[in-house]
Structure 1
Amino acid sequence: VGQTMLKNKRGRIINMTSDLAVRGLWNSVVPCASEGAIHQLTSSLALEWGRDGIRVNGIGAGWLSTKEKSDPSEPDLLERYIPSRRKGHPNELTQMLVYLSSDSCGFVNGQTIFIDGGALAHA
């Protein structure tokens, strides 16, 4: 797909990553390294392909759940460290995805925007 975008001199790439891209976590070397690689891929491709009209950005998702409320049997350890005091829902990422895909953010390139309820601010 990237080659087609280069040929057309236009395109939008939005990589998905998580908070682990920029912070460490116990017993999570492999996930942290792979998420960090996605974060750096976003920056590097933006530099390489930006002059060809291709914007490359990322969304860093925090802790998400499709449940309206946490299951009482589920440990609340993660929620304790999120300033918003709740897990996010995947639907909360969609407006950013639409924005990054649109022409409205033509000057945004090489950014990973973290949607995590403030979890990185806690770190």
Structure 2
Amino acid sequence: MSPARHESAVRELRRHAPIFAALGDETRLKLVKRLSGGSRVSIARLTQGSTLTRQAITKHLRVLQDAGLVRGVRRGREYLFGLEAEPLDDARRILDDISRQWDVALARLKSFVEG
């Protein structure tokens, strides 16, 4: 990899680091899963069946919003939250790239060991 390409890859990872940081928490992953149904959901509904308070869920939603993963829309007296597809697609693309790099490295190692 050329130095310019390497620097570009590093910048892209830094730009997307908040997404992975936000997804690195079990509670936030559960919220993402609950929001993955496609429709927007209120905090009251997200609280149902959870041991978390509205304040805790709000805090986690704020982290997800700051990372661009979730967007809240005001409807009447409440906010409805939904997932934003693009940041999740970006994260998946980055993980796919890393997976391909590992596949190449493992293939080279296998060739070295067996060759």
What TM bracket, shorter-length normalisation?
Answer: under 0.3
TM-score by length of 2: 0.26
Between Structure 1 and Structure 2, whose CA radius of gyration is higher? 2
TM-score by length of 1: 0.25
Higher relative contact order (CA 8 A, sep 6+): 1
